[in-house]
Amino acid sequence: MICRSCGSANLKSVISLGNMPLANGLLKSPDEPEETYPLDLVFCPECSLVQISESIDPKKIFKDYKYHSSGSQTMLKSSADLVERTIRERGLSKDSLVVEIASNDGYLLKNYVKAGITVLGFDPCHEIAEVAISNGIRTVDDYFNGSWGYTYKHLTNGADVIHANNVMAHVPDINDFVEGMSILLKPGGVAIIETPYIRDMIDRCEFDTIYHEHVFYYSIVSLITLFRRHGLHVNHIEHLDIHGGSLRVWAGKSHTALNEVGRDLLVDEFYTTIHGDYYKDFGKRAENIKHDLTALLRRIKSQGKNIVGYAASAKGSTLMNYCGIGQYLDYVVDNTPSKQGLYTPGTHLKIYPPEKLLEDRPDYALLLAWNFADEIMDKEHEYVKRGGKFIIPIPKVRVV
């Protein structure tokens, strides 16, 4: 294969997780047939972009997407804070246009609507787009690309702000995607992008962040290289804790000096990500977590204790299938109604509402969405009060 960003054929292996089902491919029956695909990660030394070696047709992945961003209080607060800040710093008014790519159920754009600012969302999942539309969020039920950039550039004279939160990892034709943003963005506008940070994933051994839905794993260098190719400049960078460690990047058509945080992160990357053998022991550390987690679950079950999974998440799918731990869990709970009653991919565990924790009082709950650990444990304080314990698998297996 060649690098999807720069076209180089000089790709280096990072880790192989074997054959996996689609992480969000929830099943209607435990006997329903499902396909599996190789899940291997490679690194491009030419542009610093990490990517999976085999991409799946996005229509196959997102045709029945179940994740609703509004289901997380962490996401809602982060989005509301960002909108308030953006309105203030950019001086947005009723004459401004804000676009969000992968707008989901309108979790972010609704804050702009409340402030009287015109919005436009793009989301390819019809069911989720309909939720946004029903809540007054103008939404295009399709994938964003260069063609849509041209169309809405002519219809609206361009966007003052473009948000792209946790979507750039999902787009196989990333050059067309970024070109579309560049076309749609006004000369003085800004694109605000959030994406998981490859440095955090490697340093914290977050191997469960790897799944077919995530085609790309970005460093700052790879983002700068990609954006410059399409006439955009990265001018400000922040490092966030959300999703196990993420970058929030501001990009525009004019160049300004990078902020201090961005400069420090960029310099650090030059001494690690690009040079040396930064990725060489990632697979070994993932194997160590697999060993430790399996040993803990096996020991708990040998004591006659019960274990369930908490959150039917994509990262939970990778974790359970890579570690082969489905046999130790009785079921999974999740607060998304559309997931309840279905079965997890690969492991075929039935998904129930979180209320089942208090009904059954299992001894342990494995946090399959450990990136929201504080929010989940706060929400389930009654379960903990009654003696329940949570197992957090990443970055180190521990019981709390």
Domain positions in the chain? 69-270, 282-399
Residue 140 has pLDDT above 60, yes or no: yes
Residue 190: pLDDT band with limits 50, 70, 90: very high
Helix boundaries (H) for 70-173: 73-90, 109-114, 126-134, 146-156
Q: What tokens appear for 121 in the block?
A: 């969302």
Q: What is the pLDDT of residue 75?
A: 76
Q: Which fold has domain 69-270?
A: Rossmann fold (3.40.50)
Q: Kindly report the average pLDDT of the chain as a whole number.
A: 93
Helix (H) / strand (E) containing 342: none
pLDDT of residue 271: 84
Task: Please give the pLDDT value at position 243.
Answer: 75
- pLDDT at position 280 is 87
Percentage with pLDDT > 90 across the chain: 84
Question: In the prediction, which pLDDT does 88 show?
Answer: 97
The rounded distance, in Å, linking the Cα atoms of 162 and 48 is 25
The pLDDT-based confidence of 116 (bands split at 50, 70, 90) is very high
Q: Give residue 275's pLDDT.
A: 64
The two structure tokens encoding residue 385: 């009060």
**Cis before 38 (ω within 30):** no
Mean pLDDT, residues 137-158: 95
Query: In which band, very low, low, confident or very high, does the pLDDT at 66 lie, cut at 50, 70 and 90?
Result: low
Q: How confident is the model at residue 90 (pLDDT cuts 50, 70, 90)?
A: very high
Q: Regarding predicted confidence, which is higher, 338 or 97? A: 97
Q: Number of C-alpha atoms within 13 angstroms, CB side, residue 69?
A: 25
Assigned CATH topology for domain 282-399: Rossmann fold (3.40.50)
pLDDT of 376 strictly over 80: yes
Is residue 11 scored above 70 in pLDDT?
Answer: yes
Predicted confidence at residue 155, as pLDDT, reads: 94
Sequence-separated (6 or more) residues with CB below 8 Å from residue 240: 78, 194, 246, 247, 248
Query: What number is the average pLDDT over the span 80-108?
Result: 95
Task: Report phi then psi at 231, rounded to 5.
Answer: 75, 25
% of the chain residues with pLDDT over 70:
96
Residue 288 has pLDDT above 70, yes or no: yes
Alpha carbon dihedral 201, 203, 204, 208, in 10-degree steps, equals: 30
Q: Which of 60-64, 111-115, 307-311 has the lowest mean pLDDT?
A: 60-64
Side chain identity, residue 320 = M
Q: In angstroms, what CA-CA distances link 136 with 111, 119, 155?
A: 11, 10, 20
pTM of the full structure: 0.89
Give the pLDDT confidence score for residue 76 in this predicted structure.
84
Query: What is the residue type of 319?
Result: L
353: tokens are 């509402």
Q: In a 3-state reduction of DSSP, which class is residue 341?
A: coil
**DSSP states of 43-74 as a string?**
E-TTT--EEESS---HHHHHTT----GGG-HH
Does 393 have pLDDT greater than 60?
yes
In angstroms, the CA 11 to CA 49 distance is 10
The pLDDT assigned to 244 comes to 78
Q: Band the pLDDT of 261: cuts 50, 70, 90.
A: very high
Residues facing 365 on adjacent strands: 308, 390
Q: Do domains 69-270 and 282-399 have the same CATH topology?
A: yes
